[in-house]
Amino acid sequence: MRLLILGTGGMANQHAVNFKAIDGVSVVGGVDVVPERLAVFCSEHSIPNHFSSLEEALAWGEFDAVANVTPDRIHHPTTLQAIAAGKHVFCEKPLATDAIKAMEMTDAIEKAGKVGMVNFTYRNSPALQKGRQMVLAGEIG
């Protein structure tokens, strides 16, 4: 899976680190409207391709999915653009700023036959990490 990270502010750093730790995932591009922040982010995470707009990244197109880590009000238009371009989308919470926009996004991803996800997990919670360790060790589950 070739992943593009859209938005390179604070939370995007966690996304880059965690996605790169998954076997089979390559973070191949970063997008941000702030050139300095984009350059630092891509350098820190060894991301080879830098784009100043989603449109520029979509024109390139050499990725399978988008991690949308933009400000909340930007989730709706950028997610719809990514879906229209045939990309899977992992969107930071909240999915949208209102239920109507969220349903529009949901309908679009379903119609496109792509995977759409919202990041609302507690994967880094100590209790969940302990549970994971116990499952992997065969102690439970």
Q: Per residue in 71-102, pLDDT tens?
A: 999 999 999 999 999 999 999 998 999 999 99
Domain total of the chain = 1
Q: At 104, which CATH number?
A: 3.40.50.720
Instruction: Report in angstroms the alpha-carbon separations of 58 from 51, 66, 83, 130.
Output: 10, 10, 11, 39
Q: In this structure, is residue 68 part of a structural domain?
A: yes
Within 10 A of 76 (CB to CB), how many other CB atoms are there? 21
Q: In this structure, is residue 32 part of a structural domain?
A: yes
Q: In this structure, is residue 25 part of a structural domain?
A: yes
Q: Per residue in 20-60, pLDDT tens?
A: 999 999 999 999 999 999 999 999 999 999 999 999 999 99
pLDDT of residue 27: 98
Q: In this structure, is residue 26 part of a structural domain?
A: yes
Whole-model pTM: value is 0.84
What domain range includes position 11? 2-136
